[in-house]
Structure formats: structure tokens, C-alpha cells
């Protein structure tokens, strides 16, 4: 859930910069879709992007 929140927050920020902000209901739906996507795949590299970004 934490990973999905970060990903959706990044998406929301980008959309706001482009003056295309999403509604809260759309953000909630996107977060759930992201969670489902994460859980349906391999969890092995779940935090690799986060580690690479902070290195």
C-alpha cells in the first residue's frame, strides 16, 4: 500500500503540473488498481526502484 501511495502521489503531482488534476475518487481507484497490479506480479523487486532512487 505504501508503494502504491507513493506511485499515485507522483502521478497526481505530475497531473497537477499539467493542469489535469484527478478527482479524489479517481485517485482512490488508481491507488487500488496499482495495489492490485503490484500484488499480481513478482514482489521480488518491489522496492528496487526506491533503493536506486535513494542511492
pLDDT score for 30: 93
Give the residue numbers spanning the domain of 40.
2-54
pLDDT score for 55: 46
pLDDT score for 39: 87
pLDDT score for 22: 85
pLDDT score for 47: 65
**Count of structural domains within the chain:** 1
CA dist., res. 33 & res. 39, Å (int): 10
| CB distance 3 to 46 below 8 Å | yes
pLDDT digits over 1-55, tens only? 898 999 999 999 999 999 998 899 999 999 999 999 888 887 666 666 654 444 4
* Residues found in the chain: 55
| CB distance 51 to 44 below 8 Å | no
Dig out the grid coordinates for 35 from the structure. 495495489
pLDDT score for 29: 95
Amino acid at each position: 500500500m505504501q508503494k502504491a501511495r507513493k506511485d499515485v502521489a507522483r502521478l497526481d503531482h505530475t497531473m497537477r503540473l499539467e493542469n489535469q488534476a484527478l478527482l479524489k475518487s479517481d485517485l482512490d481507484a488508481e491507488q487500488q488498481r496499482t495495489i492490485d497490479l503490484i500484488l499480481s506480479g513478482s514482489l521480488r523487486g518491489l522496492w528496487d526502484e526506491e533503493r536506486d532512487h535513494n542511492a
